[in-house]
Amino acid sequence: MKKKDKILIQQKIDGMLSDAQEKAFQLLMLNSAKARDFYEKLCLIDQRLKTDAAGVSDLNLCPGVMDNVPVNKNFEVSNRKLITLRTNSILKYAAVLLVGLFLGATFSTIILSKNEFADKNDLYGTIIKRSGSKTLYSNGATSIHLQSMLSGNVSINLFTIETNSEVEFEITNKSPNLDAQNIITVQNGYNIDQTGTSIGDITGIIKGPSVFQLNVLKGNQTSAVFRIGNDVVAKAFFE
């Protein structure tokens, strides 16, 4: 039996044949015993599945679910914004660990000017991974904090990116003036795999072995930048 005949049979079972296709189907049934056999067996399976599905009892989850949701949950306050990044490097683990890197004004790659972020604009976030519906926080290896820009100090804690898996950067409530719309990432010789899927979009991302760069855009002002890689840099640019 030809593939197109099998597709015709499937469409017949799904009730999706046009008049012309119906004629072709009738012709096929007349002329091919094999096709008839195939059709009859799929019909039987289809029928049994429908009967079985009809026998599944209905249930009412509402009371149980509503009992388990906090009636006073405030989504405005507890809103946590997520950006999803999908890493695509061939390396299984491009783990980057930076421990309490405290960069002073003397650090040559930090460029500060007069319009630095106020503390309330500090970026706090967490790199998380998801496994099904579970959120996995790597032990002590996920938080990112760009702080005290005014005084010229940048603190980057450590994080891990597992490549070939979905990684999200979660901005916490401690960043009241920043959300995903304030975050952009920049391509720099590495493939962009996926844009953000939460509030706002990621426009680009630098990825590669041991390299991850995230740019922070505040309004029209660019930006705080940190980059973690073989060459560790952290920058804050403000116009």
Partner 1 sequence: MSTDEDRIWVNEVMSGKVSHYRFLVEKYQQPVFRVVFKICGNTNAANEIAHDVFVKAFQSLSQFNPKYKFFSWIYRIAINSALAHVKQNKRMVSIDRLPDMADHNADANNNEIDSLLHKAIEQLPGKYKVLIAMKYYAGHSYTDMAEVLGLEEKKVKSRLFDARKMLKDYLEKTKCFNY
Region binding partner 1 by CB under 8 A among candidate stretches 20-28, 42-50, 151-159, 215-223: 42-50
What's the token pair of residue 192?
A: 């962009």
> Residue 3: what residue type?
K
* CA angle (125, 127, 161) in 5-degree steps: 145
Candidates 18, 51, 108, 220; binder of partner 1 (CB under 8 A) is 51
The reply to whether 205 sits near partner 1 by the rule CB under 8 A is no
Of 142-201, binders to partner 1 (CB under 8 A) are 197-199
How many beta carbons lie within 10 A of that of residue 157, not counting itself?
17
Q: Under the criterion CB under 8 A, does residue 33 sit at the interface with partner 1? A: no
Minimum CB distance to partner 1 smaller for 127 or for 236: 127
Q: Does 60 bind partner 1 (CB under 8 A)?
A: yes
Q: Is 132 in the site for partner 1 (CB under 8 A)?
A: yes
What distance in Å separates the CA atoms of residue 22 and residue 30, rounded to the nearest whole number?
Answer: 12
Nearer Cβ to partner 1 (8/112):
8
Q: Which is nearer to partner 1, 37 or 119 (CB)?
A: 37
The single residue listed with the structure tokens 């790199």 is: 127
Q: Looking at 22, 46, 119, 193, which residue binds partner 1 (CB under 8 A)? A: 46
Decide: 135 and 167 in contact? Cβ < 8 Å.
Answer: no
Cα 118-122-127 angle, rounded to 5 deg: 175
Closest CA to 103 of 44, 72, 146: 146
Query: Which of 4, 22, 27, 44 is the binder for partner 1 (CB under 8 A)?
Result: 44
CB 137 within 8 A of CB 145: no
The site for partner 1 (CB under 8 A) is made up of 6-7, 10, 13, 38, 41-42, 44-46, 48-53, 55-62, 64-66, 68-76, 78-82, 131-133, 197-199
